[in-house]
Amino acid sequence: MKLISLEIKPKINSGWGSPKLLFGEEITQLHANNGSGKTPLIQSIVFCLGYPVEFREDIVRHCLSANLTLTIGGDSYTFTRLYESKFDITIRKNDSQFNRFYSESDFSKFLLPLLGYSQERLITNGNTPTLPYASTLLPIFYLDQDRGYSEYYFPPSSSFIKNQFSEMVRVAAGFAPLQSYDRKEKTIEIKERVKYLDQSVVESRRQLSRLRDDLATPNKSISDIEHEVENLKNNLNELKNTKDIKSEALNSFDLLIYNLKSQHREACSQERELKSKISSSNSIKSEIESEIETLNLNEESLSAFTTLSEICSSPNCGMFFASSESYGKSLLYLRDQIKDLAISTATNQRRLDIVSAEKAILEQSIQTLSNERGEAVAKEGIDLFIKAISNISSKIFDLELEKSKHLRLDEQEKNHLNLKLERDRNVSLEESFLVTRDPSIEILNFRLNLSKEMVKWLDILRSVTISRDIKIDSDFKPILGIEKLNVFKGSSKVRAVLAYHAALFSILTAKVSNGFRVLVFDTPRQQELHNEDLDDYMKELKKLATNHNVQIIFSTTSYHYELSKGDIEWTPTFTNFQQPMYLG
């Protein structure tokens, strides 16, 4: 998603409007005095995206509609929302298709899937089903001028979904919901799906190993094969154009023999490798055996100690008891390991046999070709020529065949990897439906990353009073040291909230390319932050915008951010008031 422009349309008589304001590729700054209309513009952006905003009376009286143009996946959309009605949004796709929404739920049902968010039914406080709303999700990406800086998540109306904040972060990050309304039905469905994926993974791995076995044993890379084919083709051309038939034909023999020899060399090196594996597993075996021997020595020493009655005459003497028990166990388990090793040695032995056989075949072909070449030296003319050509073409044919096998293998490897990822996702989902559950891998990883990222942003904001020992609890709320947000006041609180939103935004937009990709600040509390701290924060956000291809929008009065490439500043253009205004 990329925001393109915002335009406020005036009412027909004596209305206020704005020119078409273009968003910066990366940063959009609204820099103007207090009271020049920054907030209504910022609010209009989220207003168009379904966020409920109560505008000042004069805005409602003078302005007709807010028009937000943005692109989602290559298509252009214009969202038009009327100021006067309670909820009335028209969406125009590529200037042709119309959709008009009169309720927030219909609008959210349209917008959220379009942005790539999943639509799982959640549970409200009254235990009824509900879908996530755009307005419940947006507070993650939009900080309201007053209340946005006092909480990590401040919904426009009081939370009505159970664990609303946690659920919204889960929606934004693409995790399974904490409490899904359709859990029972979903559980069965997911179980089936995981079973199917497990089977597919095994199938695909078998396919993979079949394809691998099918390849000629000295394994060449595709580029090697291409190189060889190229050489042979050149050779063929030379043969065609040559006048000295005999020497060229002999050359071609040489080339073929050379190729075979290099294959032979590779087979030899593979053989060597396998032999070394087998010998290393033998040496492991002997290492384990020597370990066992040492244990036996210990055992014997122990009995020597116990037999000497001068030390202790009791038959149930507890001397070395604990260690003697552990000797026995180690002995037992080590013997088990030897069995295990035997299996892998057998596998390697099988492969060694295959390679050796291949090597023998190669040696034979080299011998045959060399003999033919020897005879050819004595022969004259056309026979030799035909023989050489047919040799080369059949070789080229073989190589092309091998290349196609390689390509199939590559394809299969890619499929296999995708299947495994897909399975991982689904297993996580399955686990999330279990009643007693360990934390999910993805969510834990997300939380650990979030806490690391938050430390980074707190450092950028130079907040000295907040502990860097940050834990993100299972509802995605940070615990700073041992303190929660509500014990902080003033600038520390603002810094914590700013750091949290930047950290969350940076992680949410790191890997995926869908969803809301814009972070909107309505006048970050400047009186409570030093300008240089805010400046460092903005510069870091600029880097984030460049790296993650996202947009940052913020308004400011005293602090001014130095624009660079990809940034735009909106200044008020209507001068026939007491001070320049954005709307007029």
Partner 1 sequence: MNLREVLEKASSESLYIQAENIPIARRDAFQNESLFHLPLIAMAILMLAKGRTKPKAEEIGQLIGECFELALAGFKGSSQGLGWSANLRIRTVKALTFLEVSNFITKDLSTGKLEATETGKKLVDKVINSDTQLTLSLLKIKRAYRNICKERNIELELQ
Tokens representing 59 are 């805005």
Min. distance of Cβ 544 from partner 1 in angstroms? 24
438 interacts with partner 1 by CB under 8 A: yes
With CB under 8 A as the contact rule, which of the stretches 22-30, 49-57, 110-118, 441-449 interacts with partner 1? 441-449
- Rounded-to-integer distance, Cα 501 and Cα 142, Å: 9
Report DSSP state, residue 161. B
Given a contact cutoff of 8 angstroms between Cβ atoms, the answer to whether 7 and 531 are in contact is: no
List the interface residues with partner 1, window 156-215 (CB under 8 A). Answer: 198-199, 201-202, 205-206
Q: Do the beta carbons of residue 19 and residue 7 sit within 8 Å? A: yes
CA angle 423, 425, 427 (to 5 degrees): 65
Member of 300, 424, 459, 532 binding partner 1 (CB under 8 A): 424
Stretch that binds partner 1, among 58-66, 273-281, 311-319, 490-498 (CB under 8 A): 273-281
User: Of the ranges 151-159, 169-177, 233-241, 405-413, which one interacts with partner 1 (CB under 8 A)?
Assistant: 233-241
Among 273, 483, 535, 567, binds partner 1 (CB under 8 A): 273
Are the beta carbons of 252 and 239 closer than 8 angstroms? yes
Q: Treating both helix axes as pointing N-terminal to C-terminal, what angle do 245-307 and 321-378 enclose, rounded to 10 degrees? A: 160
Q: Applying CB under 8 A, what is the total number of residues that bind partner 1?
A: 57
User: Cα(540)–Cα(525) distance, rounded to whole angstroms?
Assistant: 18
Rounded Cα–Cα distance for residues 289 and 495 (Å): 62
Which region, judged by CB under 8 A, interacts with partner 1, from 108-116, 130-138, 298-306, 325-333?
A: 325-333
Stretch that binds partner 1, among 33-41, 280-288, 394-402, 568-576 (CB under 8 A): 280-288
Backbone dihedral region for residue 408 (phi beyond 0: left; psi -120 to 50: alpha; all else: beta): alpha
Nearest-angstrom CA–CA distance, 56 and 49? 19
Binding of partner 1 by 416 (CB under 8 A): no
448 belongs to the binding site for partner 1 (CB under 8 A): yes
Is residue 469 involved in binding partner 1 (CB under 8 A)?
no
| Angle at alpha carbon of residue 168, lines to 195 and 550, rounded to 5° | 100
Kindly calculate the radius of gyration of the chain based on its CA atoms and give it in whole angstroms.
36
- Residue 291 engages partner 1 in binding (rule: CB under 8 A): yes
Question: Between 422 and 540, whose beta carbon lies closer to partner 1?
Answer: 422
Residues 328 to 347: which contact partner 1 by CB under 8 A?
329-330, 332-334, 336-337, 339-341, 344, 347
**C-alpha closest to that of 227 among 389, 86, 403, 355:** 403
d(CA 474, CA 499): 19
The correct pick among 258, 410, 489, 547 for binding partner 1 (CB under 8 A) is 258
Among 191, 210, 272, 530, which residue sits at the site for partner 1 (rule: CB under 8 A)? 272
562-572 as b/e: b if 16+ CB within 10 A: ebeeebbebeb
From candidates 94, 125, 269, 547, binder to partner 1 by CB under 8 A = 269
Interface with partner 1, residue 352, by CB under 8 A: no
**Minimal CA–CA distance to 61: which of 117, 134, 5, 12?**
12
**Any contact of residue 234 with partner 1 (CB under 8 A)?**
yes
Chain residues binding partner 1 by CB under 8 A are: 198-199, 201-202, 205-206, 231, 234-235, 238, 251, 254-255, 258, 262, 265-266, 269, 272-273, 276-277, 280-281, 283-284, 287-288, 291, 322, 325-326, 329-330, 332-334, 336-337, 339-341, 344, 347-348, 423-424, 427, 438-441, 444-445, 447-448, 471
